[in-house]
Amino acid sequence: MNRKRITRRGAMRGMAAGAAVLALPSGVFAQGKAELAEIVIAPQFGLAYLPLHVIKNQKLLEKHLAKNGLPNTKVAWAQTTGGAAANEALISGNMHVVSGGVGPLLTVWDKTKGNADVKGIGCFDSTALYCNTINPAVKTLKDFTDKDRIALPAVKVSIQAVTLMMAAEKELGPGQHEKLNHLTVSMAHPDAMAAMMSGKSEITAHFSSPPFQFQQLEDARVRRVISSFEVLGGPATFNSAFTTSKFRNDNPRSYTSLFDALVEAHGFIQKNRADAIKIYIDEEKSKSPPEFIAKMMASPDLRYTIVPLNTIKYAQFMHKIGSLKNLPVSWKDYYFPEVHGVQGS
């Protein structure tokens, strides 16, 4: 049976299941205790964060807050520069809901287990991350030499860095996961892309995400070396929304509203693709033409789904190499129960 079709149907079943879990009648929470007067949410930049952009643009959270008896709750949007900054803002209480890759989610879950107990709310996407290169001599990971440098968001800790270590062990042999670490350089995606594409920098490869990886492949000099889907053995989650157990426990109506808004945002993206593309362009001030964004979104390597996919493989690997102290039994250990009705992994 076709894997892509299974994934798509699974995603839709997941959204339906999520909606069923929390599809409560209007006013059911009307007599509940007071909750936060303002909720601060932090998306990041990139096509994978489209569900949050839709929630903001369409005021879906405000809609569900009103439905659940909190019409006066304000929603504020802040920006973070990466997973580490998002985690710090969440733990400090400066933000209530943050977003980031599987790596940052697992890291903060591990560090807060037994106290703040941070867990995932739901996912934004299943996105293949590409390691691209302009070095014509590099066709596999084995071809990288000390003359090459691989740019990625954060050495050793970003999801790209973890994926690279998994790929190194898979291709170079057991215990070889750090074999390429000395070639990696921490750089923001726009800077890394500019450096690699200039052809004049030490950066000869870039492990990135959409839209950067797709933009690079428009250039005939660029070759894809690996994809995270190849490394994980199938579609895998890139980004999720997460929060503390305290926020969820102290603000049940707000949390319910947030989850319902995320479910609705996924449905909006599936049914209103052109509108979703316009929202992305407006929210991120993107200069990419709508046609190119539509092309990226049509790729089997980019799917919007609330369902966690292959996240447990990241957790198991990170525990094996010592990045996580706690080994989760399943993905349900680090995602809140509202999303447990889906067929995740």
Write out pLDDT tens, residues 236-290. 999 999 999 999 999 999 999 999 999 999 999 999 999 999 999 999 999 899 9
Report whether pLDDT(32) > 90: no
Check if 3-127+236-339 and 130-232 are the same fold: yes
Instruction: Residue 152: name the closest of 191, 179, 123, 178 by CA.
Output: 191
Percent of the chain whose pLDDT exceeds 70: 89
Q: What is the residue extent of each domain of the chain? A: 3-127+236-339, 130-232
CA distance 73 to 254: 9
**Nearest residue to 240 via CA among 344, 162, 131, 111:** 344
Residue-level pLDDT at 82: 64
- 66-71 long-range contacts, Cβ below 8 Å, gap at least 24? 67/26, 67/27, 67/257, 67/260, 68/24, 68/26, 68/28, 68/29, 68/253, 68/256, 68/257, 69/27, 69/28, 69/29, 69/30, 69/31, 69/32, 69/253, 70/29, 70/35, 70/253, 70/254, 70/257
Average pLDDT of the chain to the nearest whole number = 89
Choose which CATH entry (3.40.190.10, 2.60.120.1130, 3.40.50.300, 3.40.50.80) describes domain 3-127+236-339: 3.40.190.10
3-state secondary structure of 297: helix
Per-residue burial over 299-338, b if 16 or more Cβ lie within 10 Å, else e, is eebbbbbbbbbbbbbbbebbbeeebbeeebeebbebbbeb
Contact 328, 315 (CB under 8 A): yes
- Residue whose token pair is 């000869």: 204
With bands split at pLDDT 50, 70 and 90, how would you rate the model's confidence at 134? very high
Of the given ranges (21-25, 45-49, 318-322), which has the lowest mean pLDDT? 21-25
| Cα separations in angstroms, 114 against 86, 103, 109, 111, 338 | 20, 19, 9, 9, 20
**Do 233 and 93 form a contact (C-beta atoms < 8 A)?**
no
> pLDDT (tens digit, 9 = 90+) per residue, 182-192?
999 999 899 99
The residue type found at 237 is T
Query: Is 23 a residue whose pLDDT tops 90?
Result: no
Q: Please, what's the b/e burial string for 107-117 (b: 16 or more CB within 10 A of its CB; e: otherwise)?
A: bbbbbbbeebb
Q: Does domain 130-232 have CATH number 1.10.10.1100?
A: no
What is the predicted pLDDT for the residue at 16?
37
Give dist(CA 294, CA 276) in Å, integer: 10
What pLDDT score does 83 carry? 64
Q: Spell out a b/e string for 47-80, using b for 16 or more CB atoms within 10 Å of the CB, else e.
A: bbbbbbbbbbbbebbbbbbebbbbeebebebeeb
